[in-house]
Amino acid sequence: MDIFVALLFILTVLTVRFLSKWYKIFLIGLKIPGPLVLPMLGNVQMVSKLKPENLLLSLRNFREIYDQTYRLWLGPELWVFLHTPQETRDVLNNKNLSRPQAFQYLNALIGNGLLISEGNHWAMHRRILEPASNELLFQRMTNPLLFPDIIYRLTPMYSELKESLKIIHKLMSDIVQERQNYLATKEQTTAGKIGKTFLDTLLTPTNTGKIFSFQDIRDEVNTFVLAGVDTTTSAMCYVLYALAKYPQEQQKLSEEIQHIQQGCKLSPNVDFNELQKYKYLDLFMKECLRFYTVVPLTGRQTTNSTRIGGRVYPAGVTVWINLYGLAHDPDLFEDPDQFRPLRFAEEKSLIAFSYLPFSGGPHICIGRKYALMIMKIMTIKILEQFQLVLVDPLDDLILMAEMVLKSKNGINLIFQEREKFSIIN
């Protein structure tokens, strides 16, 4: 009997704490405009509008209806969408906010890597999923009916995801094991010299003797390979598309390249400083990253009472920053739906935290300079040999907001050489 009473007391305390926390969230939710809420279900009727192919348009429509800040209830979870530079600054500069609960579903793919871990382990936020896994996980993140593990594990999506992750994890484990074997057998004559890779650093004991576990190393390889590579390649696809979509811009870049290189090809030893000569290329890249915001959304979750903009949010509220929406806001960019690289000729006129292709604040992408350098080099090398043309000039992209921006109908280009051409789909 005493045990029963004790258990009942503990259950009562936990229930009261939960209801007290949720009640605070409920009260702030009442003060924020948003769609009609269904009892117990929240805005479950809006799930179809959160699908990747509908999300960008839905968020734009919500902003027009409910102003710059609005909310959605996904079951008992309150999601608040932010659209102002001030709110964005408050969120990205706050080191005490955690990653959204929805991001924890990504643990299945990358474990506790730099991308989603807390405290001193944060770093770049970017797309981290192979396409099949990305779509499956994104569906779960935006559907409250799939939040409980006990329900999700009964769906066909879980079986499909499990099979995809099995392949990905084996590939990453093989990469780590192969490098580990190489380091164990090679001569140690190069120890301490320049040329050590990121993976070598993880596999080498630190000055304090600490050694990362195999699981830790695999998690970080998952993050850097599937995240860094995929965001850069996705951004590069949109750069190539913009070159073909706007031939006048392609012509300006070709003329700049010819003027700087005087008929010579780009040196294989080109460095970051040399790339600074390509002024118009820099403007073009910035406009591409604005127009096609590769990471369209990023989010945080409050862990205690937090002031964001003019509101104080209690712990447990998920806030989403619409990076794509900021980049296409007519209040922040003149004619935002027009592709105009020269808008960046006067960067001092940009409003702080309105242009965030690599996020901002303490979590800003640590690989941003390297990514830009790679993209600029690739663009120069391609324009040295090819002219880019759209397969169908009237075929506009159907953009989807997943972990990264994707085109539902693909990106179909023609690479025309000086003497011959080939079609690349």
Domains assigned to the chain: 32-184+195-424 (1.10.630.10)
Collapsed DSSP state (helix, strand, coil) of residue 389: strand
Mean pLDDT of all residues in 306-329 = 94
Q: What is the DSSP letter of 3?
A: H
The CA distance from 29 to 80, in Å, is 9
Mean pLDDT of all residues in 305-316 = 93
Indicate the pairing of strand 318-322 with strand 77-82: parallel
Q: Are 244 and 389 in contact (CB under 8 A)?
A: yes
pLDDT at 318 over 60: yes
The CA distance from 330 to 236, in Å, is 25
Who wins on pLDDT, 123 or 166?
Answer: 166
Tell me what pLDDT residue 177 has: 80
Tell me what pLDDT residue 278 has: 94
Confidence of residue 313 (pLDDT cuts 50, 70, 90): very high
Token pair in block for residue 45 = 């009727």
Q: Are 99 and 92 in contact (CB under 8 A)?
A: no
Q: Are 319 and 376 in contact (CB under 8 A)?
A: no
Q: Are 34 and 66 in contact (CB under 8 A)?
A: yes
Annotate 309-348 with DSSP letters as a single string: TTEEEPTT-EEEEEHHHHHT-TTTSSSTTS--GGGGGGGG
Collapsed DSSP state (helix, strand, coil) of residue 290: helix
Q: Are 306 and 96 in contact (CB under 8 A)?
A: yes
Q: Are 149 and 113 in contact (CB under 8 A)?
A: no
Mean pLDDT of all residues in 313-321 = 94
The CA distance from 379 to 249, in Å, is 13
Who wins on pLDDT, 145 or 289?
Answer: 289
Collapsed DSSP state (helix, strand, coil) of residue 405: strand
* 365 marked as part of a ligand binding site: yes
| Percentage of residues in the chain having pLDDT higher than 90 | 41
Phi, psi of 5 (to 5 degrees): -65, -40
Residue range 51-102, pLDDT digits in tens: 888 899 999 999 999 988 999 998 888 999 999 999 999 999 998 898 876 6
Q: What's the whole-number average pLDDT of the chain? A: 80
Residue range 206-245, pLDDT digits in tens: 555 667 777 777 777 766 666 667 788 899 999 999 999 9
The CA distance from 352 to 310, in Å, is 18
Who wins on pLDDT, 354 or 225?
Answer: 354
pTM of structure: 0.76
The CA distance from 387 to 44, in Å, is 48
